[in-house]
Amino acid sequence: MSTPVLRLEKVRKSFGKEIVLEDITFTVPEHTATVFIGASGSGKSTLLRCVNLLDQIDDGQILLDGSDISAAEVNPDEVRKKLGMVFQSFNLFPHMTVLENIILAPTKVQGVSKEVAIEEAKDLLAKFGLKDKAQQYPDRLSGGQQQRVAIIRSLARHPRLLLLDEVTSALDPVLVNEVLSTVKDLKEEGMTMVLATHEMGFAKQVADEVCYLQNGRILEWGTPQQILENPQLDDTKEFLRRVHDAGRL
């Protein structure tokens, strides 16, 4: 078997005395999507931030394409060039147009010429139905459009791995679907992804593996069918029941 894109081994993270992640181990093979579900505060965002080296882990190892990115001598900027990350909200830079947002990293970080970067940005915008928004400022876009631009912005850097942190939870329900279908398209194209989400229906559609996170530990994991339809642990059942009652299933 080839090296997985991402592998975490016994990762631990605490903020002061509070342990936020404990004994986190999982593998993300190429072209697959791993989805994390779990209550608010269970550590999903922290996990993604650790992979992106925005937060430092206390113990364990993070391997990207087989090399240890949690090692002390690793330059985070170099690692982040291979990762795309989209947050819950406040993603786009409000003082730049959509196009400027997208070409910022390719031109400033990857050294792509401006003409090439613009060309590619326009292709991506056209592909995702946002062609006419190129010259708009983010505050003129709907929340759903903003999130799609944020996804496009991270794609423009050709990441090895895409990290998506509840990209729909700040959106009105009617806007959620357009963002989710964008993510599904990417999955079908073979993008490797790690996601945190509250949308169980969506998790079922894109995930190759679902991990249930509680108090910083992966309690149960498996295929979407196993975890979402036939969970073994009472905790998982309880969580899914609560999500179901909240109308998200």
Partner 1 sequence: MKDKSGRGSNNGATPYDFGGEWTPSELEIARRLARKKKNQRSALIAALSSFLVLGTLVLVIVTSPGWETLRNTFFKWAYGVEVLPKIILGFGTNAMLTVIAGTSVALIGLAIALLRTSRSPALTPFRFLATVYVDVFRGIPMLLVILLVGFGIPALQIKGLTNNVLVLGTIAVIITYSAYVAEVIRSGILTVHPSQRAAARSLGLSNAQTLRHVVMPQAIKRVTPPLLNDLVALIKDTGLVSILGVTDAVRAAQIQTAKTFNYTPYVMAAIIFLLVTIPLTRFTDRMLRNSLEKQNAQGQA
Ligand X SMILES: Nc1ncnc2c1ncn2[C@@H]1O[C@H](COP(=O)(O)OP(=O)(O)OP(=O)(O)O)[C@@H](O)[C@H]1O
Identify the bridge partners of residue 83 per DSSP, sorted by sequence position: 161
- Tell me which of 33, 50, 105, 149 binds partner 1, using CB under 8 A: 105
- Tell me which of 34, 42, 145, 154 binds partner 1, using CB under 8 A: 154
List residues binding ligand X (CB under 6 A): 15, 20, 38, 40-46, 166
Nearer to partner 1, 171 or 206 (CB): 171
What is the dihedral angle through the alpha carbons of 158, 196, 182, 199, rounded to the nearest 10 degrees? 170
> Read out DSSP for 146-207?
HHHHHHHHHHTT--SEEEEESTTTTS-HHHHHHHHHHHHHHHHTT--EEEE-S-HHHHHHH-
Stretch that binds partner 1, among 72-80, 186-194, 200-208, 226-234 (CB under 8 A): 72-80
* Pairwise CA distance, residues 92 & 101, whole Å: 7
| Residue 15 interacts with which of Mg ion, ligand X, partner 1, none, CB < 5 to 8 Å by class | ligand X
With H, G, I as helix, E, B as strand and everything else as coil, classify residue 208.
coil
Stretch that binds partner 1, among 104-112, 118-126, 199-207, 235-243 (CB under 8 A): 104-112
91 forms part of the interface with Mg ion (CB under 5 A): no
Nearer to partner 1, 133 or 153 (CB): 153
45 forms part of the interface with Mg ion (CB under 5 A): yes
Of 21, 25, 77, 26, nearest in space to 46 by CA: 21
Q: Cβ(164)–Cβ(195) under 8 Å?
A: yes
- H or E element that contains 136: none
User: What are the angstrom distances between the C-alpha of 213 and each of 44, 73, 196, 210?
Assistant: 7, 30, 10, 10
- Find all residues with CB under 8 Å of 245, minimum gap 6, and list them: none
Nearer to partner 1, 93 or 244 (CB): 93
- Tell me which of 46, 52, 70, 145 binds partner 1, using CB under 8 A: 52
| Residue 187 interacts with which of Mg ion, partner 1, ligand X, none, CB < 5 to 8 Å by class | none
Of 175, 178, 211, 198, nearest in space to 246 by CA: 198
- Tell me which of 87, 205, 221, 223 binds partner 1, using CB under 8 A: 87
167 forms part of the interface with partner 1 (CB under 8 A): no
Binding site for partner 1 (CB under 8 A): 49, 52, 54, 76-77, 80-81, 83-85, 87, 89-95, 104-105, 108-110, 139, 142-143, 150, 153-154, 157, 170, 172
